[in-house]
Each structure stands twice: as C-alpha cells, then as structure tokens.
Structure 1
Amino acid sequence: MSRQKNLIRRHPLLSMVLPVLIVLAIWAWQHRVALQVFPDIISAYTAKEYCSCRYVTGNPAQYCRSYVKQYLPATLQEDQATRTVTASGLGRSSRAMWLGQRQGCRLL
C-alpha cells in the first residue's frame, strides 16, 4: 500500500491522466463505427451541398464555397460541363452530380 501512495506522490499528473486515457479508450471503442464513418461525412456533405447550391439554386461559385466551408479542410473541384462536383477531405473523396431541376443533386 505504501508503494502505491509513494507512486501517486511522485507522479501526481500521471495518476490523473491515466484514468482519463482509459475512459477515452473505452469511449472510442464503443463508438468505433461512427468514428470510422466520420471522414466520409465531411466530403459527402461538402460535395452534395455545393452541388445543390450551384446548380439547384443557381448561386455563384464564390458564395457556394463560403456556404459549404467547414472547420475541417475540404477541397472542391467543379466540372461545369457535366455539372459534377468532387470534394476531398480527411483523406476521403466524394462526388455529386446534378441530375435535373426536379431531381436536384445526388451523390455518386
């Protein structure tokens, strides 16, 4: 018992950080599926919303770029001939294409 008290006295920061890390690891394990899908959501949201902003509502490119801007970086590539938008972020890439005025944009 005295060794444990002695360890806590010598390393008080370690004795507080270690339980927090253990709790975070357990939380991450329980939510591992959602955490794996998160990078896909960023690029898909950006591609779909930018496509809708540009081709469904007819807004200018600069306005739509600021509309879909997020705290996490994503790059946009727009092909006006095919009305296709490709967005990349967090190592993932998604494409959205304008199908028509009634259908709007769809993720490919």
Structure 2
Amino acid sequence: MIRNHPWRSLLLLVLLSALAWTWAERRELQAFPGILSAYSAKEFCSCRYVMEQSDGYCRSYVKQYLPLSELRDDPARARVVARGLGQTRTAVWIGPRQGCRLISGG
C-alpha cells in the first residue's frame, strides 16, 4: 500500500498522529473554552478596578484573537462577566489590597 499510494499513506499517518495527540491532550483541550472567558473577566476587572483605567482602554487590553460573545461591566457592583466559546466567567473586585477574584460561573 505504501509503495502504491505514498500520499495516502502519509495522510493516514498524519491523521493517526493527530488523533493520538488529541487523545493524549484531551483534558487540556476540554479546559480550553473556559480559559478565554476566565482570562478576559479577570484581566478586565484588574484593568478597570485595580489600575483604574477607562472602559475603552480595558476592552482593547483584553481583546483576543478569539472574540468574546459578551463582556459586561457592572460598575455599581465592581463585577465583570465574560462569555466566550460557550463558557461564562465572572470576576469581582474585592478591594485595594486583594484586587479582583475570579468567581465561578456567571
């Protein structure tokens, strides 16, 4: 088969390697969707409430290659909600010494 179809054999080898890598990294790949929203919520909260920057500046600061479907700032409660890749994470400002803390869910 290899001698008669070298490109098919190479494609099959690449496909099998990709499947093996995916299986080996399955836990990390499952965690990835939550990382985008968690990072964005925490960094926006820190930018906005710890560093006291403007809303526009902080939105551009946390902008990623993968877009968020929602980034909501609640200044009255010092709370930020970020939603991306189907996951929602919330960060809340605790105080000047503690900064922002990521809390579970939305």
Select which of 38, 57, 61 maps to 2:55.
61
What is the number of equivalent residue pairs in this alignment?
Answer: 102
1:106 lines up with 2:101 in the alignment: yes
1:72 lines up with 2:66 in the alignment: yes
Select which of 52, 55, 59 maps to 2:46.
52
Select which of 14, 17, 27 maps to 2:11.
17
CA distance in 2, matches of 1:5, 1:26: 21
CA distance in 2, matches of 1:5, 1:52: 56
SS for the counterpart of 2:81 is strand
- TM-score normalised to structure 2 length: 0.90
Give the counterpart letter for 2:23 in structure 1.
W
The structure 1 segments of at least 4 consecutive aligned residues displaced by more than 4 Å after TM superposition are: none
CA distance in 2, matches of 1:72, 1:5: 40
Identity, % of aligned positions: 52
Gaps of 5+ in 2: none
Instruction: Report the CA distance shift for 1:27/1:6 in structure 2 as closer, same or farther (over 3 A).
Output: closer
CA distance in 1, matches of 2:19, 2:8: 16
- TM-score normalised to structure 1 length: 0.88
- Larger CA Rg, structure 1 vs 2: 1
1:39 lines up with 2:33 in the alignment: yes
Q: Note the aligned Cα RMSD (angstroms).
A: 1.3
Name whichever structure is richer in helix by fraction: 1
CA distance in 1, matches of 2:47, 2:3: 62
